[in-house]
Structure 1
Amino acid sequence: MNNPALIISILALLFTIFSFWWMNWRKGKLQVGTPRSYAAFGSLEGRMILEFPFVFFNDGPTPIIVQNLRLVFSDEKQSKPLTFIATVKEIGNHQNRAFATQFPVRGREALLLICEFQREPGGMIFEAHNYPMELQARLGNSKKWKKICGFNLNVAEKSLPTINKQFIVHDNILEG
């Protein structure tokens, strides 16, 4: 086993196999960006509605299937998730509304989806506050919910006259 050519050939083969696996078969991680804006309607007894534009990015080569999504207020004592109901083409506009379905995020690609979440009863009137949120997903064949994004829902003082009365778009960037 003192043959340098054989050792170099074996190392080259191992490197080639590893590289091929890395570029073509490796399962990636799903990354989700923090939403820049949102549309919301808060209600105690009625339906609470939230829409967020999420950018999903798969950093691996193989597709990731998102079976379902849900949204959770992280600081609620009794967690009552908001259900993924629909996708829309334009935030705050219900024309071209499509029922929620599972969706693929192709390898090394980004996907923008405006997702609508609801719960009834809403159980919450929004106040000027930063609400910690979790976007959770069921990926592939998994039955477990997995946190894929944590972010703050920033309800500004200037949003209070409308956020609990009508469904309109708000900025999610902190001022100042």
Structure 2
Amino acid sequence: MSAMFLAGRQSSDLPAAAIVAGCALIFTVASFWWLNARQGRLTSYEPHSFAAVANETSTQLRLPLVIYNTGAKPIVVQNLQLRFPDEPDTALRLLWVTTRRYLKPDSGDGHAFAAAFPVGGREAKQLFVEFRAPFPDFVPQARDYKVSVEAKVGHHDDWRHLLTFTWQAAHMVDPGSYITYRNTADDLTTDDVAKSDAALKRLAAKAAAARAS
């Protein structure tokens, strides 16, 4: 009788042991996938400074970007662009033309043409990216712009959103010179806005004349 009871108890314990073993296997496989094979996405962070120039050749905007890969697998960035989603001309783009060593433009800041690059799994990559639109396609105004940074990545056909931030273009008090500015509102004076507005309006008038000719 006791032998039959023991045999029945052992047989009833087998399914429980199998369930525990199965759960352990699932946990192991899921952990391996999460740590080593999960496809993540790219994110970035609001820049607090920028370099810019606007003249009768082009408008150039250089941004300090940190791009972070949330997943385990590397992601290849094939292209970058700036878009202005709130502007009437929603097709307006500033294209990635070069990557530099520093934010401040000078003769020794390096010059690397736009080229694909990888972002390793759970890694962050800092880049000083230069975007450009030819004159007279885009002349900024002395105001805030909502700007979206987008990336074309190797495992997707469409553009992927990295971040949206406010570009304080009114800081461009000397738009004809390629210099750095803070991208904050707290140190923007009314005199700065007036100076930037006057200079950019003069350039906008030249752009309008060029488009009309």
Structure with the largest fraction of strand = 1
Instruction: Please give the alpha-carbon distance, in whole angstroms, between the structure 2 residues aligned to 1:134 and 1:160.
Output: 20
Highest Rg: 1 or 2?
2
Contact 1:46/1:121 (8 A) holds in 2: yes
Aligned CA-pair RMSD: 1.7
User: Which residue number corresponds to residue 34 of structure 1?
Assistant: 46
Q: Deviations over 1:5-60 (max 9, x none)?
A: 111111111111111111110001211111111011124x5311000000001111
1:116 CA displacement: 0.3
TM-score normalised according to structure 1 size = 0.90
Q: How many residue pairs end up in the alignment?
A: 172
Instruction: Please give the alpha-carbon distance, in whole angstroms, between the structure 2 residues aligned to 1:19 and 1:141.
Output: 23
Aligned match for 1:168, one of 155, 162, 179: 179
12-21 vs 87-96, which moves further: 87-96
User: Which residue number corresponds to residue 98 of structure 2?
Assistant: 86
Give the letter aligned to residue 65 of structure 1. Answer: V
Q: 1:85 to 1:160 in 2, by over 3 A?
A: closer
Contact 1:127/1:160 (8 A) holds in 2: no
Instruction: Please give the alpha-carbon distance, in whole angstroms, between the structure 1 residues aligned to 2:136 and 2:65.
Output: 22
Contact 1:26/1:62 (8 A) holds in 2: yes
TM-score normalised according to structure 2 size = 0.75
1:128 CA displacement: 3.0
Answering whether residue 32 of structure 2 is matched by residue 20 of structure 1, we say yes
Instruction: Please give the alpha-carbon distance, in whole angstroms, between the structure 1 residues aligned to 2:34 and 2:84.
Output: 37
Give the letter aligned to residue 112 of structure 1. Answer: Q
User: Which residue number corresponds to residue 97 of structure 1?
Assistant: 111
Q: Relative contact order: is structure 1 or structure 2 higher (C-alpha 8 Å, sep ≥ 6)?
A: 1
Contact 2:104/2:180 (8 A) holds in 1: yes
Q: Deviations over 1:56-111 (max 9, x none)?
A: 01111110111100111222222221110000011132521111101111011110
Identity of aligned residues (%): 34
Off by >4 Å, runs of 4+ in structure 1: none
Contact 1:42/1:122 (8 A) holds in 2: no
Structure with the largest fraction of helix = 2
Q: 1:104 to 1:160 in 2, by over 3 A?
A: closer
